[in-house]
């Protein structure tokens, strides 16, 4: 080990590149590995999660209608238990004082805590068998009663006086979202209905041990469709009425009471993690092989002195494991320090935790052993390929250059080309999404609630040209239902507004059926094709009469963006209902100016309205604002994720390029004697530089031929998740290849020039 440390100190450039590349790579591999495992294991938190299902109702969002749980429990013998959760905003009064800020209420059955175990600081799930008692979330309890225990005290929730019966400990590692207050339902089939909220709840059921899951789920499908025919005769969902618990977390339109993640983006992250590890591993092996040539004489001498091959192999492997262990320790510290940064940018409700439990430590040790063993075995195998005498004579160095150095140069460039191309594709796709046409006009328009000041007062503002009532706006926040037409599933995105707002949005009309705007329903071209709406068939399907009554079809408009560009799919179809919307306070303002003064005044109006509605000032920041800004904010999660991935790719590329620089130095050094001999026989600095650079760039060309198809495959897989995606991006791969070629050219050029300018006599004296 002493000779190894001495050897590292004499080769500081190689050692620094090895250590830096390995530390950074391992840190991000640890981050990605921990995050991936924690994302995929979240469903295992539930007891007997293989037997738990959600009643999805065949809809886009995981929800069930009142009475579904009772039907299933009473008429399906293999259903062992079930529970509901509903989520609402409410007000609360504690100790005679109205609670400031938003108050979130879960109406919940205690069985849910049997499925998804939670820790109670005081009380238990049995408290929720009595509707007159409530359980408080830990942070909410500390907020309203910082100086005393609130258990046993009264609290007024939704005008009902209740007793605090317990406090629930909050955790970031649970699939169940936290709430301020937990309370029992009124009855087995009752669900609270607020304004603009359908009477639905999240329902989980557990099947008995030994139950035939396929037959039981089929029976549940049949029963729900029969018992709730008034609704399902319209939706006629093709998919199952139940969803396995293990699939809920990654379901893109999951329940509002459960956390969710993005599986597609997680797979991208895994791919980047693999590339990072591969880049670091190849980089380390590459440099280890290069250094092996310098240590070969030491090992050959040990062999001639009687040391066995097994002993020499163990020496290589143990030295490598020690080096990797030190790098891993530093990588763990780096990963932990980057944990908050990662969580700030990463998509998903379950954040990263760089853990140190026995299971995780075993995984880290396994990584150390694998990387260390591979990095030690390869240079040892190279040494064993040659007779100790030939190594001492220096023949091994010349034979080695024709194999490993070239192979690893190709591999490193393949990784570089693929990563550069993917970074460019992701950035282009994001810009493409940001610039997606809305199909409507939202310039100089502001979305706000008029409740705190009144609609007339807003309309009288000097900076307001027009004001219209709208429940949502193009690009974000529209109501939706799921339906199936001719076997094809569609997501109907509904925008409700009055006549003024309809004109303000400037939808392009394709056909006008000549009916009054008020009380009319307008189909987008996509929706009209789905429902065969035209001048000869103007009748709206029954599904819409359930929501608005019998509105007459007003006409057909061009398609418009029904939600965020990163969320929209080819199955989304838009409709607009024009009515008075009495009682709706949300408005769109057409502004004639939007300077800092106007922004500040409207922001204050929104803040006051937030306090009035929820008691939470931050409510306005999320839902009200300048519409172009709100649409852009809808892309923030995608922007953060892409930025994070691009950072990982940049690091992997830098690590790969560091390896290329080191290998180019080694490669040039290997040719120093050959260059010296050719210069004696008339070679020049220019001719030798040209010869070496061309030979090196041929290897890069081979890498490009391999790397571009890999990049094309990865780009196609990434873009597949977007409905609105870039086209004609083939030039990206040419640019990536040129960048890799230029970087490789510069890396080898200065090393080759250094070797070519060496005095031949000085170099030949070394032999």
Q: What is the mean pLDDT of the chain?
A: 79
Residue 386 banded pLDDT, cuts 50, 70, 90 = low
For residue 340, what are the CA distances in angstroms to 41, 328, 336? 21, 20, 8
Q: Across 69-73, 420-424, 546-550, which has the greatest mean pLDDT? A: 69-73
Q: Across the strands, what pairs with 575?
A: 494, 523
Q: What is the pLDDT of residue 136?
A: 95
CA dist 141 and 151 (Å) reads: 9
Domain ranges of the chain: 2-37+263-432+638-764, 57-240, 445-593
Q: What is the pLDDT of residue 125?
A: 92
Out of 248-262, 272-286, 386-400, 680-694, least confident range? 386-400
Residue 196 banded pLDDT, cuts 50, 70, 90 = very low
For residue 105, what are the CA distances in angstroms to 134, 177, 354? 10, 11, 32
CA dist 226 and 208 (Å) reads: 23
Q: What is the pLDDT of residue 112?
A: 93
Out of 16-30, 268-282, 463-477, 550-564, least confident range? 268-282
| Residue where the block lists tokens 């032999």 | 767
Burial class (CB in 10 A: 0-12, 13-18, 19+), 758: middle
Q: What is the pLDDT of residue 287?
A: 63
Q: Across 6-15, 133-142, 435-444, 660-669, which has the greatest mean pLDDT? A: 133-142
| Phi, psi angles (nearest 5°) of residue 68 | -60, -45
Residue 589 banded pLDDT, cuts 50, 70, 90 = very high
Out of 79-83, 141-145, 181-185, 612-616, least confident range? 612-616
| Residue where the block lists tokens 């603009």 | 196
The string of pLDDT tens digits covering residues 32-41 is 889 888 888 8
CA atoms within 13 A on the CB side of 568: 27
Out of 301-310, 362-371, 494-503, 527-536, least confident range? 301-310
Residue 50 reports pLDDT greater than 80? yes
Q: What is the pLDDT of residue 328?
A: 92
Residue 370 reports pLDDT greater than 90? no
Residue 20 reports pLDDT greater than 50? yes
Q: Are 677 and 760 within 8 A, CB to CB?
A: yes
Residue 623 banded pLDDT, cuts 50, 70, 90 = confident
Residue 207 banded pLDDT, cuts 50, 70, 90 = very high
Q: What is the pLDDT of residue 195?
A: 45
Q: What is the pLDDT of residue 82?
A: 93
CA dist 634 and 639 (Å) reads: 10
Give the mean model confidence (pLDDT) for residues 38-49. Answer: 85
**DSSP assignment string, 689-712:** HHHHHHHHHHHHHHHHHHHHHHHH
Q: What is the pLDDT of residue 482?
A: 67
Residue 375 banded pLDDT, cuts 50, 70, 90 = confident
Q: What is the pLDDT of residue 649?
A: 72
| Residue where the block lists tokens 């994070």 | 644
| Phi, psi angles (nearest 5°) of residue 652 | -60, -40
For residue 525, what are the CA distances in angstroms to 115, 486, 515, 553? 45, 18, 18, 13
Give the mean model confidence (pLDDT) for residues 189-215. Answer: 77
Give the mean model confidence (pLDDT) for residues 752-766. Answer: 57
Residue 107 reports pLDDT greater than 60? yes
| Residue where the block lists tokens 């007779």 | 387
Q: What is the pLDDT of residue 28?
A: 84
Q: What is the pLDDT of residue 630?
A: 86
Query: Does the model's pTM come out above 0.85?
Result: no
Q: Which residue has the higher pLDDT, 248 or 665?
A: 248
Rounded to the nearest angstrom, the gap between the alpha carbon of residue 261 and the centroid of all alpha carbons in its chain is 7
Q: Are 634 and 434 within 8 A, CB to CB?
A: no
The string of pLDDT tens digits covering residues 242-296 is 889 988 888 876 677 888 887 877 887 787 777 777 777 776 776 666 665 555 5
Out of 207-221, 468-482, 711-725, least confident range? 468-482
For residue 543, what are the CA distances in angstroms to 373, 434, 485, 510, 638? 64, 33, 11, 23, 33
| Phi, psi angles (nearest 5°) of residue 348 | 115, 145
**Quick one: which of 268, 261, 298, 289 has its CA closest to 409?**
289
Q: Are 409 and 667 within 8 A, CB to CB?
A: yes
Out of 25-34, 346-355, 549-558, least confident range? 346-355
Q: Across 3-7, 452-456, 484-488, 509-513, which has the greatest mean pLDDT? A: 509-513
């Amino acid at each position: 080990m002493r000779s190894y440390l001495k050897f590292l100190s004499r080769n500081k450039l190689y050692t620094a590149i090895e250590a830096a590349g390995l530390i950074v790579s391992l840190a991000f591999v640890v981050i990605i590995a921990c995050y991936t495992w924690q994302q995929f294991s979240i469903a295992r938190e539930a007891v007997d999660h293989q037997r738990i299902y959600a009643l999805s109702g065949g809809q886009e969002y995981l929800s069930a209608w009142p009475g579904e749980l009772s039907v299933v429990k009473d008429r399906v013998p293999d259903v062992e238990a079930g529970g509901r959760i509903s989520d609402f905003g409410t007000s609360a009064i504690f100790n005679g004082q109205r609670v400031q800020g938003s108050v979130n209420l879960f109406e919940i059955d205690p069985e849910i805590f049997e499925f998804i175990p939670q820790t109670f600081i005081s009380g238990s799930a049995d408290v929720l068998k009595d509707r007159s008692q409530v359980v408080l979330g830990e942070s909410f309890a500390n907020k309203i009663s910082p100086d005393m225990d609130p258990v046993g005290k009264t609290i007024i929730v939704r005008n009902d006086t209740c007793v605090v019966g317990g406090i629930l400990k909050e955790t970031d590692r649970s699939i169940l979202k936290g709430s301020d207050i937990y309370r029992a339902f009124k009855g087995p089939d009752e669900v609270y209905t607020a304004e603009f909220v359908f009477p639905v709840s999240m329902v989980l059921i557990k099947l008995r041990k030994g139950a035939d899951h396929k037959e039981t789920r089929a029976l549940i499908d049949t029963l729900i469709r029969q018992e709730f025919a008034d609704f399902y005769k319209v939706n006629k969902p093709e998919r199952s009425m139940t969803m396995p618990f293990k699939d809920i977390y990654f379901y893109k339109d999951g329940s509002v009471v459960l956390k969710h993640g993005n599986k597609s983006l997680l797979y991208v992250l895994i791919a980047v993690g693999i590339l990072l590890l591969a880049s670091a591993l190849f980089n380390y092996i590459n440099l280890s092989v290069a250094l092996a040539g310098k240590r070969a004489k030491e090992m050959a001498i040990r062999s001639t002195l009687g040391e066995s091959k097994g002993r020499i192999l163990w020496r290589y492997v143990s030295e490598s494991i020690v080096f990797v262990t030190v790098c891993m320790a530093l990588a763990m510290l780096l990963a932990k320090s980057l944990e908050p940064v990662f969580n700030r940018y990463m998509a998903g409700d379950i954040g990263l935790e760089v853990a140190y439990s026995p299971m995780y430590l075993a995984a880290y040790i396994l990584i150390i052993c694998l990387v260390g063993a591979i990095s030690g075995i390869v240079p040892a195998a190279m040494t064993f390929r040659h007779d100790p005498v030939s190594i001492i004579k220096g023949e091994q160095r010349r034979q080695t250059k024709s194999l490993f150095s070239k192979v690893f140069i190709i591999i490193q460039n393949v990784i570089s080309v693929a990563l550069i191309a993917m970074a460019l594709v992701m950035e282009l796709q994001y810009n493409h999404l940001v610039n997606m046409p809305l199909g409507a006009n939202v310039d100089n328009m502001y979305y706000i609630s008029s409740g705190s000041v009144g609609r007339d007062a807003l309309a009288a503002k000097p900076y307001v040209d027009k004001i219209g009532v709208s429940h949502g706006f193009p690009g974000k926040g529209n109501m939706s239902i799921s339906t199936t037409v001719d076997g094809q599933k569609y997501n109907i995105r509904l925008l409700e507004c009055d006549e003024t707002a309809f004109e303000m949005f400037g939808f392009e009309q394709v056909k006008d059926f000549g009916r009054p705007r008020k009380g009319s329903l307008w189909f987008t071209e996509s929706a009209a094709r789905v429902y065969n709406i035209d001048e000869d068939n103007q009748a709206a399907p029954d599904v819409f009469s359930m929501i608005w009554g019998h509105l007459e079809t007003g006409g057909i408009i061009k398609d418009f963006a029904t939600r965020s560009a990163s969320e929209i799919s080819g199955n989304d179809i838009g409709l607009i209902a024009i009515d008075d919307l009495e009682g709706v306070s949300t408005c769109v303002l057409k502004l004639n100016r939007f300077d800092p003064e106007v922004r500040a005044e409207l922001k204050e109006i929104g803040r006051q309205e937030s306090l009035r509605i929820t008691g939470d000032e931050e409510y306005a920041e999320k839902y009200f604002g300048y519409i172009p800004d709100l649409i852009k904010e809808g892309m923030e999660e995608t922007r953060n994720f892409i930025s994070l991935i691009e950072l990982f790719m940049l690091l992997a590329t830098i690590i790969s390029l560091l390896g290329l620089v080191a290998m180019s130095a080694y490669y040039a050094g290997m040719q120093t004697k050959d260059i010296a001999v050719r210069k004696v026989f008339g070679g020049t600095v220019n001719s030798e530089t040209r010869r070496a650079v061309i030979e090196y760039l041929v290897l890069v060309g081979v890498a490009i031929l391999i790397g571009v198809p890999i990049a094309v495959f990865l780009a196609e897989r990434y873009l597949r998740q977007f409905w609105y995606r870039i086209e004609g991006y083939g030039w990206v791969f040419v640019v990536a290849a040129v960048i890799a070629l230029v970087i490789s050219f510069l890396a080898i050029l200065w090393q080759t020039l250094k070797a070519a300018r060496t005095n031949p006599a000085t170099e030949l004296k070394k032999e």
